[in-house]
Amino acid sequence: MGAVEYLLSLEAVRERANKVYNIGVDGKLKSFDYHEDRMADAADFVASLIMRDFGPDRFHEIPPHGRWQHFEAGNVARVKKLLDEWTAAGEDNTECARRLIDMFLVSVLLDAGAGNTWTFIEPGSNIRLSRSEGLAVASLYMFKNGLFTDNGSGNAAKVDGIGLQKLTGEQLAEGMQATPENPLVGTQDRAALLQRLGKSLVNLSAIFGPEGRPGNIVDYISSKGKSVDIRELWNILQRLLIPIWPSNRTTIDGHPIGDAWPLSTLGATIGDKNPPAEVIQPFHKLTQWLTYSLTVPMQRLLGVTWEKQDLMTGLPEYRNGGLFVDMGVLSLKSEVINISRKDEKSQLCTFDTADDVIVEWRAMTVALLDRIAPLVVQRLAKTTNQAELSLSMAQILEAGTWKAGRELAAKLRPDTKSSPILVESDGTVF
């Protein structure tokens, strides 16, 4: 496996993160101190939330982490309503799956941090939503209104490459209800990302058809049978998405490698524009979030069984990472705090996505999620006397760590509910 192929793989995310973790155990991280003795308390807290919401005998009901749940914000079954409408109109499960994949793909790529003030008011219900749930429901209405399709077939509930390439920042801002008084981080960047997605979809016509429809991946996956290696989906998504990320990211011998960054902890020289592959930490967070999200419609509607899902990692984003900072498992070194920029209002340390401190934080988050998951399961099994209890990483993320990070943020920073460390992103990472 060549360097580029390796850094684009799922295996590389975990392997490199484990190297950073081992450095942390030795007390030699560059930006953080790792307090292993705090992991027990963190596991206790995460387990308590899962127990509160699903215990003692409903653990099997925990859904896998994915975009589906965000569409259901406010306990409104919006996806089911769509499926009922499509079925009543005569669409079969395959076409319904295509439509969900269309919607989920665009929605996930719009699911970067929304900022601390933006909200979306749902038409009709007037439910006010923010952050991931607000972005999801906003994208659902834009999808229903045909914003992402050229609509040559007359079917508004569709996404295609031509329609995405015609999308403007102004249309997206209107659909998101973004205004100067209701600002959404990175609106123009999000629109540009979807425009590039449209071009990439059309360029991969062997999979997505001449129209570049995301949902056509359903037919490709179905051709592999009912049991499919998760890497089949992963490799397609990497081919699709690598060309759409911002052009100023890390490259290896001229090849872009997406959400992967040089890290001094691994030996990188700060500011090196051409680092060797050995000092790069890959994450591919949005691609993993998309993979988690797209598996669900194909599993529920078409009965696809996904093999090798354990290659997927926990997601290195600010909720999971915030859990470990707020619980004291990770703490910024004093010298990093002293030289960091401070947010004007909150006085929290603020960094850019590519800053060494953020890359190290994300790497440790991946490794620590691997280590907290079995601790959480052990606690739940002991509390409920279930010797055979098993939960997937996707379930731990959904009902445990992501929710824990969010609830801690709301408790400790009620005015903003923000992460304990702020990240200035272009809307294409977090």
For residue 287, give the nearest of 13, 39, 83, 42 by alpha carbon: 13
- By three-state DSSP, how is residue 389 classified? coil
Residue that has been written with the tokens 């397609």 in this structure: 236
How many Å apart are CA 95 and CA 65, to the nearest integer? 23
User: What does the pLDDT look like over 61-74, one tens digit per residue?
Assistant: 999 999 999 999 99
Residue that has been written with the tokens 């990070």 in this structure: 405
How do 305-307 and 227-229 pair as beta strands?
A: parallel
How many Å apart are CA 165 and CA 160, to the nearest integer? 9
Q: Are 14 and 368 in contact (CB under 8 A)?
A: no
What is the chain's percent helix, strand, coil content, to nearest 5? 55, 10, 35
Q: Are 233 and 221 in contact (CB under 8 A)?
A: yes
Q: Are 193 and 244 in contact (CB under 8 A)?
A: yes
User: What does the pLDDT look like over 161-181, one tens digit per residue?
Assistant: 999 999 999 999 999 999 999
CA angle 69, 73, 75 (to 5 degrees): 95
Q: What is the pLDDT of residue 138?
A: 97
* CA separation, residue 55 to residues 86, 381, 387, 407, 425 (Å): 35, 10, 15, 18, 37
> Please, what's the b/e burial string for 185-220 (b: 16 or more CB within 10 A of its CB; e: otherwise)?
bbbeebbbbbbbbbebbbebeebbbebbbbbbbbee
How many Å apart are CA 427 and CA 190, to the nearest integer? 6
Q: What is the pLDDT of residue 297?
A: 96
Q: What is the pLDDT of residue 336?
A: 95
User: What does the pLDDT look like over 339-395, one tens digit per residue?
Assistant: 999 988 889 999 999 999 999 999 999 999 999 999 999 999 999 999 899 999 999
Mean pLDDT of 48-59: 96
User: What does the pLDDT look like over 10-29, one tens digit per residue?
Assistant: 999 999 999 999 999 999 99
How many Å apart are CA 314 and CA 4, to the nearest integer? 22
Mean pLDDT of 233-240: 97
For residue 151, is pLDDT > 80? Answer: no
Q: Categorize the per-residue pLDDT at 154 as very low, low, confident or very high, splitting at 50, 70 and 90.
A: low
User: What does the pLDDT look like over 177-228, one tens digit per residue?
Assistant: 999 999 988 888 899 999 999 999 999 999 999 999 999 999 999 999 999 9
- Residue 309: other Cβ atoms inside 10 A: 17
Q: Where is 369: in which H helix or E strand?
A: helix 356-384
The mean pLDDT of the chain is 94
User: What does the pLDDT look like over 113-132, one tens digit per residue?
Assistant: 777 789 999 999 999 999 88
Q: What is the pLDDT of residue 426?
A: 67
